[in-house]
């Protein structure tokens, strides 16, 4: 009796297990997925004018190596195929076609650059292959109605611009804003957001707009112009090298406006240190990632894990380069997406899972910032927090702000 | 360079027409992607041919043909985007406008020789992407954002895929342009162009209007490259200033030198080389790193550079010149009827640009 009962229970549980495994075995694969492998495609600038961003691709590659080393995703190894497009949109079209048609990837992931992604967006959406978590801060990647196969990642420049404008309006009386802007899509996105944030009536607050080209050697003359315009607020829309030059020059000519700087140049090691900490006090920026060069995070668990990971998987790489933090965080999100797909590794399901995150904590985002997406919300990270430079590191202040509240 | 043997030309043309139609039989070998790649090779071959007309046949050096390529691409893109032109109708406009730009640029270029001309064209290549971003032109060019276009649609309800059609479209244009170029070179004007290249002063004393020929050659060369640019706008379906950086001009020059300066067949080889080696250099560098397990990061351009050096060392006349020299030495070694081999032996070693 006893034994048969036990046998009965055993049989039932075996049946339950079996039915469970039957449900689990309902596998569906599109191109780029199989029982043993998931193929991901990537294109980035390993050469050319934007090759500083090439480390993102290398960081992501190392991430998948570490995932594969730990057994892969649901037993499948990630085959990460990455090509150099030299930041050239025409070349990007070519290599992405190779990824989709020859290599037959499950999805393209974190392709880099606004022009390059614009060039492939229509193609990816005609082919119905996901173009996920693209590495650009332009505001046009979250349009599920027109482009249901394209999704961005980081908070967009436009929103950030709005946030600075609101902060200026709320905190500075009789603001006269001088803007230094890199003359490209990056600069213009910020400027548009900033103008929108000021509102129509306050456009006149911008007293001077000086631009520079990414190929210029310095921005010194622009800073002198801005000072001469009598501006008391300085909005610094520049990439790291120029941002540092601008801060230093402003101090040299004794111009002391309230300074706002974009998140792109918020690195302590790459910008604020060369600019001189004494010149950088009080600068305000918005952040969503932890800065690896900021001493404040030295005892942070996520940062410690990341540093240990870097030592193991990217030995010799510069741990002060925020691009590696970015790469780690975005690859983590892709990892989660693929995990959630289970064994239904189809283009459609990847897209569906990417659009079903609810307050997912991604390591190395600032405390309190999470990833949420939905069928109508294709902006994974929409929150930033303002921070002010004090001493030798950034000090967060105020609430976490998201696009809606901005 | 000898004329391309007729029978080979016909074989190539027939292959060019037939191979894409094999797609239903060999879907993996003749894939859409490969056809697209061959289309980009043909586009590059047209651009290199344009540069060859100027450098190889007229002796003027240009480091700035990427600029004409960009102008052609933008003219096509703007016409399609703003004026709803069909894609094929943009080619003549691109050709004419680029001819004018090239002709006008050729005027001051008359005063510049050799390195100085190279520098002036270099400046042009650097300036054009910036001009495209200029705010007065932004309404037309879309500034840094560029212009998104549609791919050429298959006409007359032909049962072809988009890429098959793109292939034929580029193929037709390329064959026509090569035919036209070979006719120009065979004509009086062609001989005048080459005479100027070979000995400027002698050409002058023989009554050739060197100024006219040089500027017109500049214009034609620009028009060819502009057409290639317009084709590329259709093929990529997107134009942006970042697509036309300075390196593009250098790549045309590399294609030209590697293919064979002053050779029509060489331009074709140069176009193929330009696309193929760029891609395989990258594949090679990942192969070295991942499969051979060597722990140094060879950038694709390093591999590209090494390949170039090796090639220049082995085939200083370019691939076309090298292959021709090989065939000749092979023929000389083989017993051929004396009447046939005699003139070949007295001929000068495949001198760049002896076109017939």
Domains A37-155+299-375 and A157-287+386-402 fall in the same CATH topology? yes
pLDDT band at B293 (very low <50, low <70, confident <90, very high): low
Q: Does A333 score more than 90 pLDDT? A: yes
Nearest Cα of chain B lies from the Cα of A191 at a distance, in angstroms, of 14
- How confident is the prediction for chain B on average, in pLDDT? 84
Interface check for A140 against chain B (CB to CB < 8 A): the answer is no
Neighbours of A310 (CB within 10 A): 21
Give every CB contact of residue A303 below 8 A, 6+ residues apart in sequence.
A290, A292, A297, A364
Average pLDDT over residues B31-46: 92
pLDDT, tens digit (0-9, with 9 covering 90-100), for A203-258: 889 999 999 987 788 899 999 999 999 999 999 999 888 999 999 999 999 999 99
Q: Which two tokens stand for residue A262?
A: 């974009």
- DSSP label at residue B155: G
Q: Does A82 score more than 60 pLDDT? A: yes
CB contact under 8 A, A89 and B238: yes
- Residue among B144, B237, B242 whose CB faces A122 most closely: B237
**A83 chain-B contacts, CB cut-off 8 A:** 282
Nearest Cα of chain A lies from the Cα of B209 at a distance, in angstroms, of 40
In 3-state terms, what secondary structure has residue A79?
A: strand
Bridge-based pairing state of the strands A37-44 and A107-109: parallel
pLDDT of residue B335: 59
Answer whether A350's CB lies under 8 Å from A338's CB: yes
Cα–Cα dist B323/B346, whole Å: 18
Nearest Cα of chain A lies from the Cα of B131 at a distance, in angstroms, of 12
In 3-state terms, what secondary structure has residue A47?
A: coil
pLDDT of residue A109: 94
In 3-state terms, what secondary structure has residue B212?
A: helix
Q: Name the more confident of A1 and B290.
A: B290
Cα–Cα dist B222/B218, whole Å: 6
Phi, psi at residue A108, to the nearest 5°?
A: -95, 145
CATH of A157-287+386-402, one of 3.40.50.2300, 3.40.50.300, 3.90.1640.30, 3.40.50.80: 3.40.50.2300
Type and span of the H or E element at B25: none
CB contact under 8 A, A118 and B238: yes
C-alpha distances in Å from residue A204, one per residue of A176, A182, A196, A256: 8, 21, 13, 21
- DSSP label at residue B288: I
Interior/surface letters B136-156, b for 16+ CB within 10 angstroms, e for the rest: eeeeebbbbbbbbbebbebee
**B37 chain-A contacts, CB cut-off 8 A:** 94
Neighbours of A294 (CB within 10 A): 24
Is this prediction's ipTM beyond 0.90? Answer: no
- Residue among A86, A101, A118 whose CB faces B145 most closely: A118
Sequence ranges of the domains in chain A: 37-155+299-375, 157-287+386-402
pTM of the model: 0.82
- Residue among B133, B242, B279 whose CB faces A88 most closely: B242
Q: Does B295 score more than 80 pLDDT? A: no
Q: Name the more confident of A11 and B165.
A: B165
Average pLDDT over residues A311-336: 92
Cα–Cα dist B112/B239, whole Å: 32
B6-346: in CATH 1.10.760? no
pLDDT, tens digit (0-9, with 9 covering 90-100), for B20-38: 888 788 877 888 888 999 9
Q: Which two tokens stand for residue A244?
A: 């540092």
| Residue A126 CB burial class (10 angstroms; 0-12, 13-18, ≥19) | exposed
Q: Does B73 score more than 70 pLDDT? A: yes
Cα–Cα dist B137/A248, whole Å: 34
Tokens 């309902």 belong to A26
Tokens 């690195």 belong to A267
**B146 chain-A contacts, CB cut-off 8 A:** 89, 115, 118-119
pLDDT, tens digit (0-9, with 9 covering 90-100), for B171-207: 999 999 999 999 999 999 999 999 999 988 898 898 8
Q: Does A22 score more than 60 pLDDT? A: no
Least confident of A177-186, B73-82, B338-347: B338-347
End-to-end CA distance of chain B: 7
E runs forming strands in B184-326: 238-239
Cα–Cα dist A259/A168, whole Å: 10
C-alpha distances in Å from residue B349, one per residue of A109, B106, B264: 53, 32, 17
A58, A80, A119: best to mutate for the B interface, most B CBs within 10 A: A119
Average pLDDT over residues B159-168: 89
Answer whether B321's CB lies under 8 Å from B263's CB: yes
Indicate left, alpha or beta for B207 from its phi (over 0: left) and psi (-120 to 50: alpha). Answer: left
Q: Which two tokens stand for residue A86?
A: 């030299």
B27, B230, B231, B238: best to mutate for the A interface, most A CBs within 10 A: B238
CB contact under 8 A, A86 and B247: yes
- How confident is the prediction for chain A on average, in pLDDT? 88
In 3-state terms, what secondary structure has residue A77?
A: strand
| Residue A403 CB burial class (10 angstroms; 0-12, 13-18, ≥19) | buried
| Residue A358 CB burial class (10 angstroms; 0-12, 13-18, ≥19) | exposed
Interior/surface letters A148-157, b for 16+ CB within 10 angstroms, e for the rest: bbbbbbbbbb
Answer whether A201's CB lies under 8 Å from A257's CB: no
Q: Does A406 score more than 50 pLDDT? A: no
pLDDT of residue B334: 67
Q: Which two tokens stand for residue A18?
A: 């079996």
Cα–Cα dist A110/A43, whole Å: 8
CA nearest neighbour of B253 among B63, B46, B59, B69: B63
Q: Does B7 score more than 50 pLDDT? A: yes
CB pairs under 8 A between A and B: 77
Cα–Cα dist A247/A254, whole Å: 11
pLDDT of residue B294: 64
Q: Name the more confident of A96 and A46.
A: A96
pLDDT of residue A324: 93
pLDDT of residue B53: 94
- Residue among A84, A93, A188 whose CB faces B238 most closely: A93
Neighbours of B107 (CB within 10 A): 12
- At the topology level, CATH places domain A37-155+299-375 in Rossmann fold (3.40.50)
- Residue among A49, A83, A114 whose CB faces B245 most closely: A49
Bridge-based pairing state of the strands A383-390 and A284-287: antiparallel
pLDDT of residue B4: 60
Strands of A258-261's sheet in order across: A206-212, A177-182, A233-237, A258-261, A284-287, A383-390, A393-402
Answer whether B320's CB lies under 8 Å from B294's CB: no
Q: Which two tokens stand for residue B53?
A: 């007309």
Least confident of A191-205, B289-303, B311-325: B289-303
pLDDT band at B210 (very low <50, low <70, confident <90, very high): confident
CB contact under 8 A, A97 and B245: no
């Amino acid at each position: 009796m006893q034994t048969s009962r036990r046998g009965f229970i055993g049989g039932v549980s075996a049946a339950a297990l079996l039915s469970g495994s039957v449900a689990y075995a309902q596998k569906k694969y599109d191109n780029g997925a199989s029982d043993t492998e998931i193929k991901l495609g990537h294109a980035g600038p390993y050469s050319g004018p934007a090759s500083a961003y090439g480390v993102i691709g290398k960081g992501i590659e190392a991430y998948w190596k570490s995932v594969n080393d730990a057994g892969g995703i649901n037993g499948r190894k990630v085959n990460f195929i990455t090509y150099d497009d030299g930041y050239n949109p025409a070349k990007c079209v070519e290599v992405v076609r190779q990824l989709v048609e020859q290599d037959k990837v499950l999805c393209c992931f974190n392709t880099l650059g606004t022009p390059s992604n614009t060039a492939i967006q229509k193609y990816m959406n005609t082919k119905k292959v996901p173009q996920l978590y693209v590495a650009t801060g332009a505001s046009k990647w979250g349009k599920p109605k027109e482009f249901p196969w394209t999704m961005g990642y980081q908070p967009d420049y436009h929103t950030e611009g709005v946030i600075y404008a609101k902060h200026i309006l709320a905190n500075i009386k009789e603001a006269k804003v001088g803007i230094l802007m890199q003359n490209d899509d990056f600069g213009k996105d910020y400027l548009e957001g900033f103008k929108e944030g000021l509102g129509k009536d306050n456009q006149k607050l911008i007293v001077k707009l000086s631009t520079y080209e990414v190929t210029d050697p310095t921005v010194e003359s622009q800073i002198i112009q801005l000072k001469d315009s009598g501006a008391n607020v300085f909005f610094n829309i520049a990439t790291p090298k120029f941002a540092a030059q601008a801060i230093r020059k402003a101090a040299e000519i004794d111009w002391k406006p309230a300074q706002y700087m974009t998140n792109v140049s918020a690195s302590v090691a790459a910008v604020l240190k060369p600019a001189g900490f004494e010149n950088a006090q009080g600068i305000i920026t918005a952040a969503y990632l932890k800065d690896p060069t900021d001493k404040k995070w030295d005892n942070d668990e996520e940062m410690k894990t990341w540093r240990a990971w870097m030592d193991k998987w990217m030995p010799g790489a510069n741990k002060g380069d925020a691009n590696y933090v970015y790469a780690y965080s975005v690859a983590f999100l892709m990892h989660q997406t693929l995990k959630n797909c289970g064994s239904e590794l189809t283009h459609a399901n990847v897209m569906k899972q990417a659009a079903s995150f609810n307050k997912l904590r991604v390591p190395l985002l600032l405390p309190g910032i999470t990833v949420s997406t939905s069928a109508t919300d294709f902006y994974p990270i929409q929150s930033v927090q303002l921070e002010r430079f004090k001493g030798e590191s950034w000090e967060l202040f105020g609430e976490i702000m998201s696009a809606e509240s901005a | 360079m000898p004329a391309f043997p007729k029978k080979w030309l016909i074989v190539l043309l027939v292959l060019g027409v037939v191979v894409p139609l094999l797609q239903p039989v060999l879907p993996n070998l003749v894939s859409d992607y490969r056809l697209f790649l061959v289309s980009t090779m043909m586009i590059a071959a047209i651009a290199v041919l344009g540069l060859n007309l100027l450098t190889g046949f007229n002796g003027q050096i240009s480091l700035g043909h990427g600029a004409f390529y960009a102008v052609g691409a933008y003219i096509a893109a703007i016409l399609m985007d703003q004026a709803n032109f069909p894609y094929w109708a943009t080619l003549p406009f691109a050709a004419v406008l680029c001819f004018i730009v090239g002709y006008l640029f050729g005027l001051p270029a008359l005063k510049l020789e050799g390195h100085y001309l190279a520098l002036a064209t270099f400046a042009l290549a650097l300036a054009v992407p910036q001009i495209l971003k200029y705010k007065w032109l932004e309404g037309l060019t879309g500034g840094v954002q560029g212009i998104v276009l549609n791919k050429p649609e298959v006409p007359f309800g032909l049962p072809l895929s988009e890429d098959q059609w793109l292939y034929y479209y580029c193929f037709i244009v390329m064959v026509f342009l090569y035919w036209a170029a070979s006719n120009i070179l065979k004509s009086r004007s062609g001989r005048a162009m080459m005479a100027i290249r070979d000995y400027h002063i002698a050409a002058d004393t023989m009554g050739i209007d060197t100024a006219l020929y040089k500027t017109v050659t500049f214009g034609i060369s620009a028009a060819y490259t502009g057409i290639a640019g317009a084709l590329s706008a259709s093929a990529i379906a997107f134009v942006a200033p970042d697509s036309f950086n300075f390196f593009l001009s250098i790549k045309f020059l590399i294609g030209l030198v590697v293919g064979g300066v002053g050779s029509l067949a060489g331009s074709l080889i140069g176009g193929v080389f330009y696309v193929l080696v760029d891609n395989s250099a990258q594949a090679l560098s990942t192969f070295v790193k991942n499969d051979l397990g060597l722990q140094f990061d060879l950038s694709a351009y390093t591999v590209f550079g090494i390949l170039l050096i090796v090639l220049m060392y082995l085939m200083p006349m370019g691939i076309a010149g090298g292959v021709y020299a090989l065939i000749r030495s092979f023929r000389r070694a083989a017993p051929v009827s004396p009447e046939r081999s005699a003139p070949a032996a007295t001929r000068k070693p495949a001198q760049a640009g002896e076109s017939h």
